[in-house]
Amino acid sequence: MADYVLIKNYSHNGKMAISRAALQSITERAVAAIPGADIAQRKKTNAFSAFFMTSPVKIILRSNGIADIRLEVALSSDAKVMDICSKIQEEVAKAIQITCETVPVSVNIKVVKVG
C-alpha cells in the first residue's frame, strides 16, 4: 500500500504526490469546520497502554489512485445525524478536491458518539 497518491502535474517537469498524513490533516480540518461534528477521540489499545494505536481518521490509498477515507465522528446531541454526515462527506471531498485538484475520494463515516 502506497504512502502517497500521485496527483496531476500540469507542468510535466516531474511527478507530484500527496501523502497520507497530508490527506488526514485536510480531513480533520474539514470536519472541525462543521458545527456539531468533531473527530472522535483516539482509542487506547488497552487500559495499561499509554499509547494510542488506532486513529479515528484512516486513509487508505488504493493503487488506482483513489483515496478511501474512513472517519469516526462524535456528533452533538441536537444534531441531525443524516444531515451532518452528508455535510461531512461534502466538506471533506470538497477540501481534498480544492487542495489536490484531482484526487478521487470515497468518504465513509461511522458515528461513534452522540451527545
CA pair distance 92, 30, nearest whole angstrom: 5
Contact 34, 40 (CB under 8 A): no
Q: What pLDDT was estimated at residue 99? A: 85
CA pair distance 114, 78, nearest whole angstrom: 9
Q: What pLDDT was estimated at residue 4? A: 76
Which cell numbers in the block locate residue 8? 496531476
Contact 112, 74 (CB under 8 A): yes
Tens of pLDDT along the chain (115 residues) come to 567 777 766 677 877 788 888 989 999 999 999 999 999 886 555 555 555 557 889 988 877 777 889 999 999 999 899 999 999 999 999 998 888 876 777 899 999 989 8
Angle between helices 20-32 and 81-100 in degrees, nearest 10: 140
Angle at 92 between CA 36 and CA 1, to 5 degrees: 130
Q: Burial of 5 by CB count in 10 Å (0-12 exposed, 13-18 middle, 19+ buried)?
A: buried
Which cell numbers in the block locate residue 17? 504526490
Contact 112, 75 (CB under 8 A): no
